[in-house]
Amino acid sequence: MNLFKQKLLVKISLILIILLFSSCHSYLADSPTNLNDIMDGKYTIIDLTYPLNQDNAYWPGPSYSSFKYKTVATLENDGVFSGVYSTPEHLGTHIDAPNHFESNQPSVDKLKLENLIGPASVIDISEHVEHNADYELTIEDIISWEELNGSVQGGSIVLLNTGWWKKWNNYDKYKNADKVGNLHFPGFSRDAARFLVEKRDVKGIGIDTLSADNGMSSDFAVHHIFNSAGKYILENVANLDKLPPKGTMIIIAPIKIEGGSGGQARIWAILP
């Protein structure tokens, strides 16, 4: 494919994304919708994705393992560079599809484009987390955010900046297990999850930790609440501290595993 065709394909793809996003959200006056301005670099684009490597955090269950990559062909020997990799679905920056915790819900390959694009509401609870690693987002936290930024819009994606991303490069500190194996990191509360699903009808949520449920959770109520409503969860999201509370558009591009419960996702934020 020549360079002209590549640029044309990129432009057409972005047009479709922007038109779809604009048609779903009439309040986008504050969001980037001008394709040419995006292409010309007039908007800031932030990658919310950690690169995949063997140091990536993953759920510390008995059947999980680290990311593995092996080179199987080189330019020097084979005239082509190529590799093979293996990974759990729930490793690194990834998406939990609705079928992750609930039956009869869509798998990751069934997620629709219109649900993977939306405005972001970014809530910062990092100050609470500094004093309590097990902190959970409350309804009161959401209401306080809304008093400053306006109501969380239906169809938005709520991203929770807990400050936990600071531990990303140290897996032991990131999962933060105590002597008996209990994990300690922040998350959404059961009540906050219900509020966001039932009262705000958000598309999904995201967080900069291993799980939307805090580390001490044993029933994974947040996962059940969101997945039972056909909604997804993003975990191990990067660079949430670089986003404003509102005015950002999010584009999520998950791997398409047939029947999968989730998988790695590239996530972009477009800031005006």
> Which residues are tagged catalytic?
100
DSSP string, 225-258: HHHHTT-EEEES---GGGS-SS-EEEEEEE---T
- Per the listing, tokens 């063997």 go with 54
CA 70 and chain centroid, separation: 27
Q: Which residues, listed in sequence order, are joined to residue 96 by a DSSP beta bridge?
A: 233, 262
DSSP string, 147-200: HHH-PPPTT-EEEEE-SGGGGTT-HHHHHTB-TTS-B---EE-HHHHHHHHHTS
In three-state form (DSSP H/G/I as H, E/B as E, the rest C), the secondary structure along 43-76 is CEEEECCCCCCCCCCECCCCCCCCCEEEEEECHH
Q: Reduced to 3 states, what is the DSSP secondary structure of residue 77?
A: helix
